[in-house]
Amino acid sequence: MNYINQKEVIKRMSGRIFLNGLFKVIFLLATLFALATLGILIYRMVTQGSEYLDADFLGNFSSRFAEKAGIKAALIGSIWLMAVVAPVSLLLGIGAALYLEEYASKNKMTDFIRMNISNLAGVPSIVFGLLGLTIFVRSLALGKSVLAAGLTMSLLILPVIIVSSQEAIRAVPNELREASYGMGATKWQTILKVVLPFAIPGILTGCILALSRAVGETAPLVVIGIPVIVHFLPEGILSQFTALPMQIFDWAKRPQPEFQHVAAAGILVLLIFLIVLNSIAIFIRNKFQKRY
């Protein structure tokens, strides 16, 4: 049998190899496009915003005048928001992950909870805003407070925290659990003394990434009706407040061109806030990874 004409094969070879080389370049360019966009985006924000980013900007409240506008209320507001979101979402998220990984038996209820979590992760953030508006702001009468916004944000990032915590808990070798049971430890003792200490770096890394998503989220805050012109700092979790992305949204919408620079300066503050959070996550990951 001789179906394959070797001469023909050799003739086609150079074309095929050229095509491979060409597409390699195309694939590389597509990858570089994504990276270049990130570079341009950051460069734009720095060039537009850096001249407005100074001590006054950090120390002033917002204003009708671009040169007087500051981000104090929003920055402090975002920190307050985190103070609610972090404990609520961490406790609920890690608790749910522990239940699903350590206690849940394989039954329909468990399957339903899992399925529900993965679907909840796909619900648009603005829909969570509608939930927060109805339940927390109106039904529970919490108003447009730090607490109402914080609870809404906690529910929004809950699926992310559960899933990443589950992964971290799943990575704990079963031998460790067995060793603990082998010494007569109970299930809860094993979880508290063996599973959690092992999994906590992974859990925290995932949680911080989820929290940084909450810092940057705008849509739910808009729907809840968080004000943008705030000339005071929150005094407690029931105070009204504003947050970084809300403030940026407000500035970005204003027609005066100077406010574009103010918005860019606000974005720089937001990005620095996020970089700090992420650095903490990387620090935790590196510090604890070495131990095992």
> Measured from the CB atom, is 80 or 205 closer to another protein?
205
> Measured from the CB atom, is 28 or 58 closer to another protein?
28
Min. distance of Cβ 187 from another protein in angstroms?
A: 7
Stretch that binds another protein, among 79-87, 126-134, 174-182, 199-207 (CB under 8 A): 126-134
Among 82, 149, 155, 157, binds another protein (CB under 8 A): 155
Min. distance of Cβ 238 from another protein in angstroms?
A: 20
Q: Give phi and psi for 240, each to the nearest 5.
A: -75, 160
Write the secondary structure of 163-180 as one string of H (helix), E (strand) and C (coil).
Answer: HHHHHHHHCCCHHHHHHH
Applying the rule CB under 8 A, the residues between 93 and 122 that interact with another protein are 93, 95-96, 98-100, 102-104, 112-113, 116-120, 122
Min. distance of Cβ 227 from another protein in angstroms?
A: 10
Does 212 bind another protein (CB under 8 A)? Our answer is: yes
Task: List beta partners, residue 240.
Answer: 145
Does 283 bind another protein (CB under 8 A)? Our answer is: no
Among 52, 57, 128, 241, binds another protein (CB under 8 A): 128
> Measured from the CB atom, is 95 or 235 closer to another protein?
95
Burial classification of residue 264, based on how many CB atoms lie within 10 Å of its CB (0-12 exposed, 13-18 middle, 19 or more buried): buried
> Measured from the CB atom, is 15 or 236 closer to another protein?
15
Applying the rule CB under 8 A, the residues between 14 and 73 that interact with another protein are 16-17, 19-20, 23-24, 26-28, 30-31, 33-35, 37-38, 40-41, 44-45, 48
Q: One symbol per residue from 157 to 196: x for binding another protein (CB under 8 A), - otherwise; what is it?
A: -xx--x---------------------x-xxxx-x-----
> Measured from the CB atom, is 40 or 58 closer to another protein?
40
Dist. CA 124–CA 165, nearest whole Å: 22
Does 287 bind another protein (CB under 8 A)? Our answer is: no
Among 206, 217, 237, 242, binds another protein (CB under 8 A): 217
Does 92 bind another protein (CB under 8 A)? Our answer is: yes
Using an 8 Å Cβ cutoff, are 160 and 121 in contact?
A: yes
